[in-house]
Structure 1
Amino acid sequence: MGFMDFFKKKNSGNVAKDRLKLLLISDRADCSPDVMENIKNDIIQVISKYMEIDAEGLDIQITQTESDGNNGAVPALFANIPIKDLKHSGK
């Protein structure tokens, strides 16, 4: 995936779907959609250093899960990131 892939034009249906996903996720996490978009972009940037990924298929969710201790339910971030190929280092 190249840097310019982030600027590909999406149709309005996909844009609306992405915005709705971010709104639902941010509502669960009690943080703004801007913060969730920044998290998504940061994850894409870091993982793209090591792998070629399908950014369009990236799915990030924040859900509630039971903690190992007696803390009750805590937020958990789950990311489904389709990997196209691994980048091999020249080491």
Structure 2
Amino acid sequence: MRLMDLFRKKSSGEVAKDRLKLLLVSDRANCSPELMEQIKNDIIQVISKYMDIDAQGLDIQITETESETGNGVVPALFANIPIKDLHNRTGK
């Protein structure tokens, strides 16, 4: 993927294809929507101890990535967590 690919607007077909890929990966990883919600709530609870986050903006997904050991493609948890402020920063 090139850097400029991150900034281009995707067509509705590309968005639908990406959503289908995510659904298939989640299904293969045997991760129900209920489990994803539990994971999301646990992440919010733990991260909130260390920083103020935008819990409504938190987005987690199960995607695929290349295995570091060369075993092919494996499921991976991707979390996008908007941070508002850090707790207990030094220098304050």
- After superposition, the CA RMSD in angstroms is 2.3
Return the alpha-carbon distance in structure 2 between the equivalents of residues 28 and 53 of structure 1: 30
Q: CA deviation at 1:28?
A: 5.6
- Distance in 1 (alpha carbons) for counterparts of 2:28 and 2:86: 32
Q: Closer, same or farther in 2 for the Cα pair 1:73/1:39, shift >3 Å?
A: same
* TM-score, normalisation: structure 1: 0.65
**Residue equivalent to 1:66:** 66
Structure 2, unmatched stretches of 5+, are 1-21
Structure 1: tracts of 5 or more residues without a match? 1-22
| Percentage of identical aligned residues | 78
> Whose Rg is larger?
2
The aligned length equals 68
TM-score, normalising length: structure 2: 0.64
- Contact kept in structure 2, 1:26 and 1:36, CA below 8 Å: no
